[in-house]
Amino acid sequence: MKVLFIYLCLVKKHINICLFVILLFAFDNVRANPIKKAFLALEQKNYGLALSQFQKLKKKSPSLAYYGLTQLYQSPAFYNLDSCLKYAIEAEANLKLVSAKNYLDWKKYSFDSTSIVQKKFLISSSYFELLKKDTSIINFNNFIIQQPWAKEIPIAVDIRDSLVYIRVLNLSNIQALQSFMDAYPDSKMVKKALAVFYELQYTQSTLKGTIESYASFIKEAPDNPLKGDAEDHLYALATQNNMLKELDDFVHQYPNNRNNLEAWKRLYQLFMKDYSSMRLEQFRAEYNDYPFMKQLEDDLALFNENLYPFKEKDFFGFMNIKGETIIPANYYEVSDFSEGLAVVSDGLKMGLIDKKNNIVIPFVYDEISDFLKGRAIVTQNNLNGIIDRTGDFIFPLEFNDIGYFKNDLYYTEKEGFINIYDFNFHQINCPLIEQITPFVSGKFKVIMEGKVSFLNDDLTISLPLEFDDVLPFSDSVYRYQLEGKFGLVQMDNKWKTPNIYDEIYPLNEGFAMVRVKDKLGYINLEGKLILPCNFSSFENCARVSQFHNGQVIVHLIDKFLIIDPTGKTLLKLPYELIGEPGEWIPIMKNYKWGFVNWKGKEMTSFDYDFIEKLDNEYFLMEKSGHIGLARIQNNNLVFIIPLEFLSISKLDAELLLLKNIDGYGLSNYFGEIVVPANFLQIQRYSDGILKLFTPTELVYYFSRNSIILKHK
């Protein structure tokens, strides 16, 4: 260096010595400060020089050197994330070797712990952006393990867990799901994985869909939340036929099943299909482990107690025979109790209650029939079904019509198709029926192929399909209609008369009146014409011209005659009109009514406005707008009820319904007023009991002992 100095002095004598000294000092300073040289090179983008300088600094100032290398490998020319991360980690690891003096001096190069950490964060963020473009479980796992400081770690964990979960999910393997949950217990996906695990466990264990498979699953997976669903399926399978034995087996074999109590209730209700106190006692004896024994005791206590609806402020409740409130008046409508249950309305829908006012069937139906053999027909949204006493559907709620057929059979109508089912909703084979309605003698009239017949007990048809209508005539003979004309047919189709009549009237004393156009005649039970159709039709002839004690009143040309079955005239009746005869014959003479006997003798004066037969000996008499009741007794007309009422009608064999301006009342056939005529309405309630309505009350009259029951 000194030689160089002398040389320069000799060559450049004109150069100012002071300036040279300054330059020489600066050159020595750079040579003596490689740190400054390295960062200057980095700043001037002289990356090769910067790399060599930082490499030289590793031994003396490793933390600063690695920090510089981190920056170098972030530059466009040397960009390498792996190297960046590597040197950032080294810079942080060697930070503890930096003296306090150097730590302060090097801050001018932006070197400190915060800067290093920020570098690591930035590098990790760059890594994460690359990971999102190439989603790989291994890459995310490495990122999570190798760069735990990264702020993206929570997101990376979620993505990694999701990728693993999707892969495991595609395997549909319980073991794989268990391994995932064991490997990542803190993952957000564990909850979903556990749900899938439970579902797979359930479906794979119960794949056969048998009672045994569900029972095994319940036993082996008691913590599976789908255990309840398995219990429901087991219950449905074990009791699918709704039979007593099935329910008996279920309640005792599966006491811990969540449907056990419900099964007990169904068992009780099925057992009580034949509802009686004897049956209740039998159930208590056979099932002393019944979990609702207190309710059973209540049913027994209340079984023989009759409850009667009462009205209070437009609402209905139930009272006992003493008039005491048993069920408060909280219902808009109520029915009588049938098999221990009553239909009630909350104003919108109908439900069922028992005698303790427990709601047995909730208020969800538009209509509910009375229970019959433990079943009731329910209607909802114009569809019908059948429920048992627990509310379970025996027949689904899907029919346009349902009716009790007979012998524990039901008929249903759905979309125009009619079918017959047994008590347990098993379809019975029968002819194709288009329409079915109740008929006489326990038979049902049906329409098939547009023709009318009726079903026998074995569901075969009794008559050939050739009639437009079939109507009762006698126990073994029917009157049929075909093309607008009537004839007779024997029940088993053994014989049939031609359809030649425009009308066949009801049978009476073995004879029936027939009509051809406006002419009347008579046939016997076999349809043989005993009196030709020569008689004139007249007003009320259907009631007047019925045989009475072997005689009949007919109208011929312009006069009334009494004839016998041979057509022999027994008596002429020269009167204007004739009423329905009984022991005497009501007659109109000079526009007033009176009586003649069957020999034509006038028995009363003719000063009544109208006479109507009530019974053979009793006649309703009308005069000046008032009606009374008279009886023919010892060949005399005796008034039982005076001419004081607006109407009198027969209620039953013992009572008459009376009406005056104040309302309705009751009288017996002796003319005794048993209930004053001041009620709005009187209806039959049950045998020997009548319901009497006032504007505010519902009262009961017990005809056998003449007791009136009112709510207290």
Residue 12 maps to a domain = yes
The helix (H) or strand (E) run that includes residue 199 is helix 190-205
The pair of structure tokens assigned to 628 is 């009374």
Residue 12 predicted with pLDDT over 60: no
Alpha-carbon torsion angle 221, 226, 230, 233, nearest 10: -170
Token pair 């031994």 in the structure block, residue: 59
Per residue in 246-293, pLDDT tens? Answer: 999 999 999 999 999 999 988 987 888 788 889 999 999 999 999 999
Per residue in 292-304, pLDDT tens? Answer: 998 888 888 888 8
Q: What is the pLDDT of residue 252?
A: 96
Cα dist from 522 to 192, 335, 544, 691, whole Å:
88, 47, 14, 43
Residue 4 predicted with pLDDT over 70: no
Cα 297 to Cα 433: distance, rounded to the nearest angstrom:
46
Residue 30 predicted with pLDDT over 50: no
Q: What is the pLDDT of residue 441?
A: 66
Q: Which amino acid is at 181?
A: M
Per residue in 547-588, pLDDT tens? Answer: 999 999 999 988 999 999 999 999 999 998 999 999 999 999
Mean pLDDT on 632-660:
94
Mean pLDDT on 663-667:
96
Per residue in 346-391, pLDDT tens? Answer: 999 999 999 999 898 999 999 999 988 888 999 999 999 999 887 8
47 and 62 in contact (C-beta within 8 Å)? no
**Which has the minimum average pLDDT: 17-26, 85-94, 226-235, 407-416?**
17-26
Higher pLDDT, 170 or 108: 108
120-126: Cβ within 8 A, 24+ apart: 120/85, 120/88, 120/89, 120/92, 120/147, 120/149, 121/149, 121/150, 121/151, 123/70, 123/81, 123/84, 123/85, 123/88, 124/85, 124/149, 124/150, 124/151, 124/152, 125/150, 125/151, 125/152, 126/81
The pair of structure tokens assigned to 29 is 């300073």
The pair of structure tokens assigned to 347 is 């104003």
Residue 26 predicted with pLDDT over 60: no
Listed in sequence order, the residues at least 6 apart from 224 whose beta carbon sits closer than 8 Å to its beta carbon are 198, 201, 202, 217, 230
SS3 content of the chain, % helix, strand, coil (to 5): 35, 35, 35
Phi, psi dihedral angles at 622 (to 5 degrees) = -120, 135
614 and 629 in contact (C-beta within 8 Å)? yes
Burial of 686 (0-12, 13-18, 19+ CB in 10 A): exposed
Three-state SS at 669: coil
Residue 236 maps to a domain = no
Q: What is the pLDDT of residue 407?
A: 79
617 and 583 in contact (C-beta within 8 Å)? yes
Three-state SS at 560: strand
Residue 439, domain extent: 410-463
Phi, psi dihedral angles at 126 (to 5 degrees) = -65, -40
Q: What is the pLDDT of residue 76?
A: 87
**Which has the minimum average pLDDT: 12-21, 138-147, 467-476, 548-557?**
12-21
* Cα-based angle 576, 580, 584 (whole degrees, multiple of 5): 90
The helix (H) or strand (E) run that includes residue 285 is helix 277-286
Q: What is the pLDDT of residue 179?
A: 86
* Cα-based angle 583, 584, 587 (whole degrees, multiple of 5): 155
* Cα-based angle 161, 165, 169 (whole degrees, multiple of 5): 180
Residue 17 predicted with pLDDT over 60: no
Cα 339 to Cα 217: distance, rounded to the nearest angstrom:
40
Phi, psi dihedral angles at 175 (to 5 degrees) = -65, -40
Chain CA centroid to CA 319, Å: 31
Single out the residue in 398, 429, 463 at which a domain terminates. Answer: 463
Higher pLDDT, 91 or 26: 91
Q: What is the pLDDT of residue 172?
A: 78
The helix (H) or strand (E) run that includes residue 595 is strand 592-596
Residue 654 maps to a domain = yes
What is the average pLDDT score of the chain? 89
pLDDT > 90: percent of the chain: 57
Give 701's strand partners: 690, 708
Residue 680 maps to a domain = yes
Q: What is the pLDDT of residue 20?
A: 36
Mean pLDDT on 151-175:
85
Nearest to 106 by CA among 75, 54, 61: 61
Residue 345 predicted with pLDDT over 50: yes
Q: What is the pLDDT of residue 400?
A: 94
Q: What is the pLDDT of residue 131?
A: 87
Nearest to 402 by CA among 387, 43, 390, 509: 387
Per residue in 478-519, pLDDT tens? Answer: 999 999 999 999 988 889 999 999 999 999 999 999 999 999
Residue 414 maps to a domain = yes
Per residue in 103-144, pLDDT tens? Answer: 898 989 989 989 899 989 999 998 898 888 888 888 888 888
The structural domain count of the chain equals: 3
Q: What is the pLDDT of residue 440?
A: 65
- What is the DSSP annotation of 297-312? HHHHHHHT---EEEEE
Cα 288 to Cα 290: distance, rounded to the nearest angstrom:
5
Q: What is the pLDDT of residue 140?
A: 87
Single out the residue in 419, 447, 463 at which a domain terminates. Answer: 463
Mean pLDDT on 162-166:
84
